[in-house]
């Protein structure tokens, strides 16, 4: 773990102790999902879906936390407004 990741990890732990939601922690620290899972934290399902889509080559933002944001992002992608046409072929 490099110093930047360690600092983000430490910040995430401190934030969780003061009752900040996991979603807020993830957005504020931008820790990779794998790191959050390694330290025993869970991520929202839409974030997990976006992450898996991105790993498959789909150009989506992995920091979305609401279903509405996910639907909007995927709608744009599938309509070709965010480079989705290239991804679909």
Burial-class residue 18 by CB neighbours within 10 Å (0-12, 13-18, 19+). exposed
Joined tokens for residue 4:
């930047």
Give per-residue pLDDT as tens, 17-41: 776 666 666 666 677 777 777 777 7
Q: Is the pTM of this model over 0.85?
A: no
User: Using CA atoms, how far apart are residues 61 and 65, in angstroms rounded to an integer?
Assistant: 10
* Tens digit of pLDDT at every position of the chain (89 positions): 677 777 777 777 776 677 666 666 666 667 777 777 777 777 778 888 888 888 898 888 877 778 888 898 889 888 876 554 445 54
């Amino acid at each position: 773990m490099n110093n930047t990741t360690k600092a983000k990890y430490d910040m995430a732990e401190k934030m969780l102790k003061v009752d900040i939601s996991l979603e807020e922690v993830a957005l504020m620290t931008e820790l990779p999902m794998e790191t959050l899972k390694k330290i025993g934290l869970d991520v929202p399902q839409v974030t997990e879906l976006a992450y898996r889509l991105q790993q498959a080559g789909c150009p989506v933002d992995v920091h979305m936390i609401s279903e509405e944001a996910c639907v909007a992002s995927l709608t744009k992608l599938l309509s070709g407004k965010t480079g989705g046409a290239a991804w679909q072929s």
